[in-house]
Amino acid sequence: MHNPLLQDWSTPFEIAPFDDISDTDFEPAVANALSEARDRIAAIADNAAPPDFANTIEALERADEILDRVLGVFFNLAGADSNAQREALQRTFSPMLAQFANEITSNRALFRRIETLWQNRDHLDLTDEQARVLMLTRRSFVRAGAQLDGAPADRLAEVKERLAVLGTQFTQNLLADERAWFMELSEHDLEGLPDFVVASARAAGEEKGADGPVITLSRSLIVPFLQFSPRRNLRERAYRAWTSRGANGGETDNRGVAAEILALRHERARLLGYDDFASYKLETEMAKTPEAVEGLLMRVWAPAHAKAEADAAVLTGMMRRDGINGDLEPWDWRYYSEKRRKAEHDLDEAELKPYLQLDRMIEAAFACARRLFGLDFKPVDVPLYHPDVRAWEVTRDGRHMALFLGDYFARGSKRSGAWCSTMRSQQKLAGDIRPIVVNVCNFAKPPAGKPALLSYDDARTLFHEFGHALHQMLSDVTYQRISGTSVARDFVELPSQLYEHWLEVPDVLAEFATHAETGAAMPKDLLDRLLAAATYDMGFQTVEYVASALVDLDFHRGDPPEDPMARQAAILEKIGMPRAIGMRHATPHFAHVFAGDGYSSGYYSYMWSEVMDADAFEAFKEAGGAFDPRMAEKLERFILSAGGSEEADALYTKFRGRLPGVEALLKGRGLDTAA
C-alpha cells in the first residue's frame, strides 16, 4: 500500500509531499514507524557486543528517525491546521507515544548499556560533544524513572501516559472554545474603530461565515478591539469571553483537567524522589531551584506593581472625566491606556500600523540576519500544507542552510499564540542534515488584495519567533539531542528575545517601516515617538506576565491544589494583584503550562532569558553598535550554533565573559526608576 509518509521524499529540500498526503496516511505510518523504532531499540538492547558509544548512544540517536520524520509533519499540522480527524489522531497518538517513551526508558538491558558507558566515561576517549550527549542521555533515562522497579515503575508509566492524554485534551478544549466564540458587530458597533480593525473584523466575519463583521478570540483582533472600541459594554463582553476560554463548563472546561494534571505531576515527582514537581523540573534549568525563580520574579514584581498602580490612578482619572464613576476594570485598561499613549506620546496605533506591513517586517527580519550572519533568503516553490504558508531557502555563501516556512495568519484551524517548530532538525550523524524550520503566528488576515498590517507588538512577535528560527538554522552540532533549541528552558528564549532588539534599531525601522499606500518611510518624528514610547505601559505588561509566572511556580511547589482556581485567587491576593489587570494566561487557558510540561514551573523562563537578552544587546552597543561583526560572530559561535553542547551558563559566559544581573532588564523595561 502506497503511503507517502514512509517513502523517500524526492521533493525540493526533501520537504514532506503535502499535496500527496492525506489524513488517513498518518495512523498506519505512525504504527509502521513505531514498529521499526521498537525493533531498532531491541537490537541495541540485545546486542551481544560490549557497549560502546557508536553501538549504543549513536544507535539510540537514530533509532526513531523514521518516527521523528512522520511526527514532525503530523504535529506541525495538528497545531497549525487542525481538523476533526487530526484532533482524533492526536488523542490516539498521545498515549501510544507516551507508552513508547516509557518502554525505552524502562528497558533494563538498554539502561545497563548506558550505565556501563557512563561509569567508564573517562576511558572512552569521547569528544566534548559526545561526553555531553552521553550525560544527557543517561540523565533523561534516570529522570524518566529508569532506576525504579516494580510497582513504582508501573505507576510512573501510568502517570506519564495519563498526562499525555490530559495535555492533548487541554489543548483541544482550548481550541474548541476559541473556534466557537465570536461576537457579531453591527455597523453602529464599528464606530470609533480604526480602519484596520474594521477591515480585520470584516475578514474574520467572512472566515466565520457570518453576515457581517465579527470579533473573534484571536489576540491580533481582540486586543485592538479592546484598545479602540468606545462601547464599554462590548469591551466587557469580549474581554470576559477571552478570559473565560477553558472555563465555560461542559465538555471543554479545563479546570478539572488542570487539577488532575497538577496532582499527577506532583505524584510523578514524588515517585522519582523529589519534594515536588518544581524541584524536579528546575533541577536541569539555569535557575536550579524554585527559590531562585521566586527571587527573580519578586525583584521585578515590586517596581512593576508600583508602576502599574500609579498608572491605574491616571487611567481612573481619565475614566472619571468620561463620566464613569465605577472602578477601572480589566476591559477598560487597554482603551484608556491607548488614549493616554496618544496624549502623552502623540502615538496612535492607527497612525503607526500602515508603516508596519507584514511583508516589510519579514524583509526586515531577513535583512538583519543577512547583516549579522551573512544569511540570504530566496522564495521557493515547494509543497506546503496551507495556501497561507510561504517558503524560503536560506543560504550562506551559496551553501544551503535551511528551508524556512512562514505561516502568519490566524484561522479557526490554528491554535492561538505564536511558535517556532521544526519538521526536521539539524544534525550530522546521518549526513549533513539541514533543518526545515517553521514560524507560526496569528496575525489578522487582511481582506483580499490588501496588505497585512501589524501592530508594533505583532512585529516584535515576528522578530521573536524568527530569533528561535535562527537558533535552528545556524545550529552546527553532530547530534540531534543537542541541536538548535534543545537547551535549558530558561535559556531557549535568549535568542528569540534578543532578536527583538533589532526591530528597535532606528536604521532598521527607517528602511523597512514604509507606508502601505504611499511607500514613504516612517517620518522621523513618528519613529522618534515610537522609540520614546518603547517602555510605555510596561507596568501593566510586567504585572500580567509576572503574576502568571508566580501562579505557575506556586502550583508546582508543595502539595498540589485541589482547586486550582481558588489557589490562583489566593496567590493573586497575596501579591496584591491590581484589580484592573488580569493574568496574561489564567489557569484554564494557560497552554504554556498545561498543554504539556515544557513550560510547567518554567513560565518564568521568558524573564530569566530577558535578564540575559538585555545584557547581551548591551554588549553589542558597547562593542560598536547593533551590527558589530565581532559580537555577531561570538553570538553565533557560542549561542546560536552551539545548541545544547554545553551548560547554558557556560555558553553565555563564553559569549559575554560573565553572567548578567537583573539591572539591565529593569532598565530595559523602564522600571529602574519605579517607586
Identify the structural domains of the chain with CATH numbers, from first to last.
4-147 (1.20.1050.40), 181-245 (no CATH), 354-532 (1.10.1370.40)
% of the chain at pLDDT higher than 90: 94
Residue 443, C-alpha cell as written in the block: 496575525
Split at pLDDT 50, 70, 90, the class of 674 is low
CA 580, CA 627: separation in Å to the nearest integer? 41
SS (H, E, C) 486-548: CCCHHHHHHHHHHHHHHHHCHHHHHHHCECCCCCCECCHHHHHHHHHCCCCCHHHHHHHHHHH
Q: 397 CB contacts (<8 Å, ≥6 apart)? A: 374
**Residue 350 has what pLDDT?**
87
CA 418, CA 346: separation in Å to the nearest integer? 30
Helix, strand, coil percent values for the chain (each to nearest 5): 60, 5, 30
> Given 260, 285, 349, 465, which residue is catalytic?
465
Residue 258, C-alpha cell as written in the block: 488542570
Q: Note the pTM of the prediction, 2 decimals.
A: 0.95
pLDDT tens for each residue of 270-300? 999 999 999 999 999 999 999 999 999 999 9
More confident residue, 239 or 661: 239
pLDDT tens for each residue of 177-233? 999 999 999 999 999 999 999 999 999 999 999 999 999 999 999 999 999 999 999
**Residue 128 has what pLDDT?**
97
Q: 249 CB contacts (<8 Å, ≥6 apart)? A: none
Antiparallel, parallel or unpaired: β 436-443 and 399-409: parallel
% of the chain at pLDDT higher than 70: 99
pLDDT tens for each residue of 588-610? 999 999 999 889 999 999 999 99
Mean pLDDT of the residues in the chain:
96
**Residue 675 has what pLDDT?**
45
Q: 427 CB contacts (<8 Å, ≥6 apart)? A: 433, 477, 478, 479, 480, 483
Cα–Cα nearest to 641, from 374, 368, 283: 374
Mean pLDDT score, 513-531: 94
Tell me if 439 sits within 8 A of 404, measured CB to CB.
yes
CA 221, CA 524: separation in Å to the nearest integer? 28
* 285 among known catalytic residues: no
Mean pLDDT score, 79-99: 96
**Residue 71 has what pLDDT?**
97
**Residue 348 has what pLDDT?**
86
CA 460, CA 361: separation in Å to the nearest integer? 9
CA 425, CA 409: separation in Å to the nearest integer? 24
**Residue 315 has what pLDDT?**
98
Residue 523, C-alpha cell as written in the block: 517620518
Number of other residues whose CB lies within 10 A of the CB of residue 275: 13
Q: What is the largest CA-CA distance in the chain?
A: 83
**Residue 664 has what pLDDT?**
86
Cα–Cα nearest to 332, from 26, 540, 509: 540
Tell me if 561 sits within 8 A of 259, measured CB to CB.
yes
pLDDT at 545 over 60: yes
Split at pLDDT 50, 70, 90, the class of 100 is very high
Q: Return the SS3 of 660.
A: coil
Q: Return the SS3 of 561.
A: coil
Q: 146 CB contacts (<8 Å, ≥6 apart)? A: 105, 106, 111
CA triple 667-672-675, angle to 5 deg: 155
Residue 218 backbone dihedrals phi, psi, to 5 degrees: -70, 130
CA 500, CA 629: separation in Å to the nearest integer? 18
Mean pLDDT score, 645-673: 92
**Residue 275 has what pLDDT?**
97
Mean pLDDT score, 440-461: 93
Number of other residues whose CB lies within 10 A of the CB of residue 363: 15
Cα–Cα separations (whole angstroms), residue 621 to 288, 512, 630: 30, 21, 12
